[in-house]
Amino acid sequence: MTSIEHGNHLLAAVRGTIEEYRMIPPHAAVIAAVSGGPDSVALLHVLHILSQPDRFRITVAHLNHLLRAESGRDAAFVQAMASEIGVECRVKEIDVTAAATLQGISIEEAGRRARYTFFESVRESEGADLIATAHHLDDELETFFLRLFRGSSLHGLLGIPPVRDRVIRPLIRARKAEILRFLEERKVPYKMDRTNLQADTDRNFIRNRLFPLIEARFEGFRKPLGRTMELVRAEDRLLEQLTSKLYAETISQTGNTLAATLPGLLSAPDELTSRVILSALYNISGANARWGRSHVRLALKVLRSRNPSAKADLGSGVSVHRGYDRLFFTRKQEEVVVGPAFIMVSGPGRVIVPGSETILDFTVLSGASDIRWSTCAADRAYFDADQARFPLAIRFPRHGDKFRPWGLEGSRKLKKALIDVKVPRKLRSRMPLVVKGEDILWIPGIRRGQAAPVGPETSSVLEIRLVRGDSGP
């Protein structure tokens, strides 16, 4: 097979995947997540070729995690590549290590959350329809083995779905070797993260140690295993349809409580009942919670208990209890623990504040004449960008916080300021604050502080806009 035929083979395979899963409608706008590594570079070039002429529009998004010394060069490389092929590129930096520490999660999880938050913000700002990531068949098989060794359910063994909501994975049926061959034959440069060649993490161990051993014994194992996963996916879809039907027949929601009718759940097969319970847990807690078999078993124990008032705490603020002929899943309305800086804002962009309903947009504008006096709007505030220089922070109130409200002299206790504008007591500790050092710049939806005023000498303006969230009491 010639080089051109090899390249065309990958293009044809990706085109087939896009058509099979109806990934990209005509004239859609797609955000391509590009790190600079071989997979994402191949994704960008394949999408660019398939987008011609005028089938769909591409914008590149690159997040610099600030984890490696060369990460800045990777960002510059991606920008140059996007410019070379004539597509727009959006780049942002975030200190993932700091974010992981602040949120109490692993660096890997913090990076994943930061990436998808950034990609979604770019999608919204660009008015795009979809986000394309570079997951391929090897990634899916690695995920399969990771979950297999951890005792996953059938649904968990499915690996990485080709389409999930607005996220598409056009390379999901392509092997890593095919991707590398495509780049080599077309002489497309890319960056290599050397840490991926180590065996320090479970995924790297499977990729760099286990897969070579399996390949030596079962040559070409990826394709048949991929077909097996397709069969598992088809059977799982059938179970999901049955689960959805049972869920609709047995579950109702009121506020922070889901109620299930016992006869319907008790008469169904255990496999379907377990899936309904798992769906109920995720629906009441949100996607960031992590539920597993142990939680489902505990809920089943309450469901089948002879005690008509049986109950159990499942964690993550969710409890389950019997009420004679009904089973209730309840999410506690707990006060968020007051702590240090919650999120670091390293530059312009959209920030979704965990633990609240708040979404903020940070934008730097040139000039100040048109907005000099627009400093007290409920849904936006303006600051001198040189005085309110990044990084900023978003955090919840701390004990003893002082606030200097705009238009008033001196400072006062933040608690008193929130009481004065009638913020309910249960919401005060969950009120996100935009801060610079010790200064509270803005209480979104409530009031601007005195710091960093826009004036005649202001050369650039920081606009912070409340996109979603409470707009005052």
If the chain, 473 residues long, is cut into consecutive pieces of 10 residues, what is the mean pLDDT of each piece? 55 93 93 95 96 91 87 91 95 86 79 91 92 93 88 78 91 92 94 67 88 93 87 87 92 85 92 92 76 89 90 88 88 50 75 77 72 60 88 84 83 85 74 87 89 83 79 44
The CATH number of the domain where 393 resides is what? 3.50.40.10
Q: Does residue 182 share a domain with residue 55?
A: yes
Q: Does residue 434 share a domain with residue 368?
A: yes
Q: Does residue 327 share a domain with residue 387?
A: no
**Domain carrying residue 377:** 343-468
Q: Does residue 115 share a domain with residue 52?
A: yes
Q: Does residue 324 share a domain with residue 389?
A: no
Q: Does residue 302 share a domain with residue 405?
A: no
By the 8 A CB rule, do 14 and 174 touch? Answer: yes
What domain count does the chain have?
3
Q: Does residue 176 share a domain with residue 128?
A: yes
pLDDT in tens, 190-230: 988 666 656 567 888 998 899 999 999 999 898 888 888 88
pLDDT in tens, 235-262: 888 998 999 999 999 998 877 788 999 9
Considering the domain boundaries, does residue 55 fall inside one?
yes
Q: How many CB atoms lie within 10 A of CB 408?
A: 12
Residue where a domain stops, chosen among 220, 235, 268? 220
Residue where a domain stops, chosen among 220, 255, 281? 220
Considering the domain boundaries, does residue 230 fall inside one?
no
Cβ partners under 8 Å of residue 239, min gap 6: 154, 155, 271, 272, 275
Q: Does residue 167 share a domain with residue 77?
A: yes
H or E stretch including 394?
A: strand 392-395
Q: Does residue 392 share a domain with residue 263?
A: no
Q: Does residue 195 share a domain with residue 137?
A: yes
The CATH number of the domain where 264 resides is what? 3.30.465.60
pLDDT in tens, 318-329: 899 998 788 999
Cβ partners under 8 Å of residue 376, min gap 6: 406, 407, 447, 448
Considering the domain boundaries, does residue 337 fall inside one?
no
Q: Does residue 286 share a domain with residue 369?
A: no
If DSSP codes are grouped into helix, strand and coil, which group holds residue 104? coil
